[in-house]
Amino acid sequence: MTTPSRWRQPIVAIQRVRHIPRWVRRVDAAVGRGINRRRTPPAADRALVALTRAADRGVLWFVIAGVLAVIGSRRAALRGVASLTVASMVANLVGKRVFGGDRPLLDDIPIGRRLRTPPTSPSFPSGHSASAAAFATAVALESPRSAGMVAPFAAGVAYSRAHVGAHWLSDVVGGVALGAAVAIVGRLVLPVRPKTERGGPVSAIRVTLPALTDGEGLMVFLNPGSGKSVVRADPEETIRRRLPRARVHVLSGDEDLTALIDEAVGTQPRPLVIGVCGGDGTVATAADRVRRHGVPFLALPGGTFNHFVRSTGIDSIDDAIDALQAGSGVTADVAEVSFNGGDPVTVLNAGSVGVYPALVVEREKLEKRLGKWAAGVFALRRVLRRADPLDVTVDGRAMRVWSVFVGVDPNFSHTIAPMRRLRLEGGALDVRILHARSRVHAIASLAFGRKTSAVLRAMRVLPLSSATTMFTADSVELNVRSAEKALATFGRDGEVEDEIARRDYTAQLRIVPGGLTVYARPE
């Protein structure tokens, strides 16, 4: 039999007196009354209830960690997961047992804000707030750029605990302080490593290319729509200042880059070098045309991730111009993919089918309204809820999978979809297939390497591992069935092939050793 709330009031007061100073209890009561009296739209109440439930058992943070890892901030994701795990253990196994205290009375909370199942564990500190603060602080320490995406979620979860009546203000403040402290101590124990690998090792056959000191003979295309989420200097200004005689064309929204490159190569004087500044998709599109015309290629980083450009050892516009002026180049391996026997298209980094391209499709639907980072989180949530395994045949073997990744040459780490080449030569495709048992298994395997996943599973942070298949090949053929499913979309260098996914299709990929002549970091 439940004790009536009017009889529980004295009990609450007595238990909180043991641990919480009087002035703190007064502030808690005043803030609680203020929140409960404030009228908020029902939609806002529902959103905060949904947010606080999403953070139950750290699910929200594991989803965000998956997004961070997939888009290239894997170290930030790992540090965040490790910090929230420690913070949650300290809050729930130590803090609540030492301090405890009862939670706010359910009768005082507006009905529209109440949780379906009110928590019953001791109140101080808030475990949700501790996990949120630990994750956000750890990510900020490792990757300040990613912190801008994580911080609003962390702040929202912390506030939601008071809004739904699950905690007093002091519980939330204590949880935030605990979580931030755990992340900071974690940095002292395991310092943030400097990103010495930026630019990456350039391992390929060296060639001497035209050294265009003032830019004469260079035709460069700039895509202003790439990398909007990255704060950087204006590339056009830098190019015009350092290469005053280069021809520069800024792309508008309706222009066809392929046609423009064909037109430029057909004019006189013919360009000695074709360059492009943009993201991975723009660079891959330009590389495909440049290969057909046999012109040296200058790739300048203008996107959010710049996977291929970084593999050439170039990390900035100035680095690319230095390579051009020095005439430093390499012959890089590429791959070609053809669909249903059609004309082959160049692949610089990787082609894939499954969770990753499905995530890209969903993110692009939300990106204009939410921005790239928040869109990535909600997109992954949609994929987790809606996606089903995909029926494919890989080189004649039928299987049911969550992801098939085909990289050009050896790729970084042991994750299923690394999207980062270790070098520009190797003469083989890097094939990785994920046979996951569930959606959560699929995302966990995509986000974390095998060694890290083993540690997290031992800590009961991640579920049991999923089976993976990894091998190298000169070519691979994918027959994709159940094409009406979201995971049937094929991704190529960060872009998606939406049209072909509307029906069953065959994708044939093959390695092309030394298929692209490109400027690279000088030795």
Supply the DSSP string of 151-201, one letter for each residue: HHHHHHHHHHHHHTTSS-HHHHHHHHHHHHHHHHHHHHHSPPPP-TTTT--
Pick the most confident of 17-21, 118-122, 179-183, 325-329. 325-329
**The domain over range 7-189 is classified in CATH as 1.20.144:** yes
Q: Write out the CATH class of domain 210-326.
A: alpha beta
Give the number of other CB atoms < 10 A from CB of residue 4. 9
Q: Could you give the CA distance from residue 186 to residue 154 in angstroms, rounded to a whole number?
A: 18
Q: How many angstroms separate the CA atoms of 50 and 113, rounded?
A: 10
Whether 483 has a pLDDT exceeding 60, the answer reads: no
How far apart (Å, rounded) are the C-alpha atoms in residues 230 and 172?
33
Listed residue (355, 465, 475) closest to 417, CA to CA: 355
Q: What is the pLDDT of residues 250-279, one digit of tens each?
A: 988 788 999 999 999 988 889 999 999 988
Query: Who contacts 277 (Cβ-Cβ below 8 Å, separation ≥6)?
Result: 220, 221, 222, 223, 226, 235, 239, 300, 301, 302, 317
Nearest one of 338, 329, 272, 259 to 299, comparing CA atoms: 329
> pLDDT per residue over 184-201, tens digit each?
887 776 665 554 444 455
Of residues 453 and 377, the one with the higher pLDDT is 377
Q: For 3-14, how does the pLDDT look when each residue is reduced to its tens digit (9 = 90+)?
A: 443 334 444 445
What DSSP character marks residue 104?
P
Amino acid 83: pLDDT: 85
**Amino acid letter, residue 134:** A
Residue 218 near residue 275, CB atoms below 8 Å: yes
**If pLDDT is split at 50, 70 and 90, which confidence band does 380 have?**
low
Q: What are 408-462's pLDDT values in tens digits?
A: 988 766 555 555 677 888 889 998 888 766 666 666 555 555 544 454 454 444 4
The whole-chain average pLDDT of the chain stands at 79
Predicted local distance difference test score (pLDDT) of residue 376: 64
- Tell me which of 107-116, 170-179, 225-234, 332-341 is least confident: 225-234
Residue 64: pLDDT over 90: no
Of residues 430, 426, 414, the one with CA closest to residue 473: 430
Predicted local distance difference test score (pLDDT) of residue 249: 93
pTM for this entry: 0.64
**Strand 273-278 vs strand 218-222: parallel, antiparallel, or unpaired?**
parallel
- % of the chain at pLDDT higher than 90: 22
SS3 (DSSP) at 296: coil
DSSP 29: H
b/e burial code for range 362-400 (CB count within 10 A of at least 16 → b): bbeebbeebebbbbbbbbbbbbbeebebbbbebeeeeee
Cβ atoms of residues 86 and 131 within 8 Å = no
What is the structure's pLDDT at 10? 47
Asked if residues 124 and 101 have their Cβ atoms less than 8 Å apart, the reply is yes
- Residues 388/439, Cβ–Cβ less than 8 Å: no
Q: What's the angle, vertex CA 103, arms to CA 100 and CA 106, rounded to 5?
A: 160
**How high is the pLDDT of residue 131?**
86
Two tokens, residue 34: 């203020």
More confident residue, 13 or 235: 235
Alpha helix (H) residue ranges in 294-328: 307-311, 317-326
Rounded Cα–Cα distance for residues 337 and 475 (Å) = 10
User: From the CA atom positions of the chain, what is the Rg in Å?
Assistant: 27
Domain boundaries, the chain: 7-189, 210-326, 350-514
**Is the previous residue joined to 244 through a cis bond, with omega within 30 degrees of 0?**
no
Per-residue confidence (pLDDT) for residue 9, from 0 to 100? 42
The predicted model gives 34-49 an average pLDDT of 82
CATH class of 350-514: mainly beta
8 A C-beta contact, residue 88 and residue 135: no
pLDDT digits (tens, 9 = 90+) for 387-398: 777 888 888 888
The pLDDT score that the predictor gives to residue 198 is: 44
